[in-house]
Amino acid sequence: MENSAILAEIPSLRRYARAMLGDRAAADDLVQDTLERAWSRLYQWRAGSDMRAWLFSIMHNLQVDRSRRSMLNTQSIDEDEFEVPTRSTQTDMLEVRDLESTLSQLPDEQREALLLVALEEMSYAEIAAMLSIPIGTVMSRLSRGRERLRLLMEGRQPTAKLSIVR
């Protein structure tokens, strides 16, 4: 029975992981670890609570653990990658890919807030509950993330606050 509830969330988990990590294979690895952990801890899931929020919080914790370990960034090549049916990758999506690389320049916690709002359409309160942080923190991460992304997309460096002195 849990099977289909979990199955229904896998596409969203993949979308979020892809946006968060920017790499298909790494994202699917994270989803895989999330699902494995979810199964081994299913007894922790409170019946009737939101399965999606629970799975996302597991993924969040895994991701935090990983980036804390600050491992060497290895690029894995996934066989699945070669059977993606839809798009040709030569010329398309220049603009949008810009967004993808710009997104990766945001601090994890800002990117996370931004993506949970934009892609998962979670409410600010849901995000706060899921990450166990105050709602004000969610708002400030979202606000800083959006502004930073905007400046980066416009080719401005939000971090360059040095003024030129001669």
Partner 1 sequence: MSKLPITEAELHAYVDAVLPEARRDEVERYLSAHPKEAERVSAYRVQKNMLKALFNPVIDEPLPDNLRTLASPPAIAEARHQRRYFLARWSLERVAVGCVIALVGAVAGWTAHGQYRPAWRMANTSSLPRQAAVAHVVFSPDVGGPVEVSAEREAKLVAWLSKRLGTPLRPPRLGALGYQLMGGRLLPGNSGPVAQFMYNDAMGQRLTLYVSTENTDNHDTEFRFAEEGPVNVFYWIDGKFGYALSAGIDKGELARIAAAVYDQLEHK
106 binds partner 1 (CB under 8 A): no
Number of residues that bind partner 1 (CB under 8 A): 61
In order of 31, 38, 117, 162, the CA distances from 136 in angstroms are 28, 29, 14, 28
Using only C-alpha atoms, what is the Rg of the chain? Answer: 18
Residue carrying structure tokens 């790494």: 26
- Contacting partner 1 within 117-146 (CB under 8 A): 117-119, 123-124, 136, 139, 142-143, 146
- Beta carbons within 10 angstroms of residue 13's beta carbon: 24
> Least Å distance between CB 130 and partner 1?
16
In order of 21, 24, 42, 156, the CA distances from 15 in angstroms are 10, 10, 23, 28
Say if CB 40 and CB 86 are below 8 A apart.
no
Among 76, 105, 134, 153, binds partner 1 (CB under 8 A): 153
Of residues 69 and 87, the one with the C-beta less far from partner 1 = 87
36 binds partner 1 (CB under 8 A): yes
Contacts with partner 1 by CB under 8 A lie at: 1-8, 10-12, 14-16, 18-19, 28, 31-32, 35-36, 39-40, 42-43, 45, 47-48, 51, 78, 80, 84-87, 91-97, 99-100, 103, 114-115, 117-119, 123-124, 136, 139, 142-143, 146-147, 149-150, 153
